Amino acid sequence: FGRIGRLVARVALERDDVELVAVNDPFITTDYMTYMFKYDTVHGIWKNREITVKDNKTLLFGGSPVTVFGVRNPEEIPWATQKTVDGPSMKDWRGGRAASVNIIPSSTGAAKAVGKVLPSLNNKLTGMSFRVPTVDVSVVDLTVRLEKGASYDEIKAAIKQASEGELKGILGYTEDDVVSTDFVGDSR
């Protein structure tokens, strides 16, 4: 129930069409999970539904039970392991470098996840991530090969149209000169 998990939980709990049923963290107690969820340095204090601890395997969000797992096997779950200062990282040497002052290339399972959600894109995407010194927000730099020619303006128009239509609430679009902190709290 790390940083990303807590943010996903916040978004899920604000929606009526998503039910949060479980979280995973083998490293902290349910009491500490509750504290970390309630008091977020970037997003502020959680004020929507009350969060309480039922027992060491269950959290209650507004009375709704959420099962707590503590899976430790890194083969099963990708862990956030970025160091704040240089330190050992056996799997990915670059991942052992200080996050606060580096842009760190890293692997990601995002491309595979897209293929599971959009089967027509399965095995057609690859991806990588860059860990950057920001406390929140991510970015996608998508490079594609189109089947037919399209201008830059046509591509922008198609993305904007999708953000206002079938992908509204999932995909955002702006041409404003913005930076990462302008997107804090944006669930898209």
**Residue 188 placed within a domain:** no
Q: Are the C-beta atoms of residues 94 and 106 closer than 8 Å to each other?
A: yes
**Residue 183 placed within a domain:** no
Q: Domain span at residue 167?
A: 146-178
Give whole-number Cα distances, 128 to 24, 36, 96, 143, in Å.
24, 28, 17, 12
Q: Residue 94: which CATH number?
A: 3.30.360.10
Q: What is the pTM of this model?
A: 0.48
22, 37: one domain: yes
**Around 55, how many Cα atoms within 13 Å sit in the side-chain half-sphere?**
2
pLDDT tens-place values along the chain, 188 residues long: 888 889 989 998 988 888 898 898 989 999 999 999 999 988 889 988 889 999 988 999 988 999 898 887 755 644 455 666 777 777 778 878 877 778 888 877 777 777 777 888 888 877 888 877 777 777 777 777 888 999 999 999 999 999 999 999 888 999 998 888 888 888 88
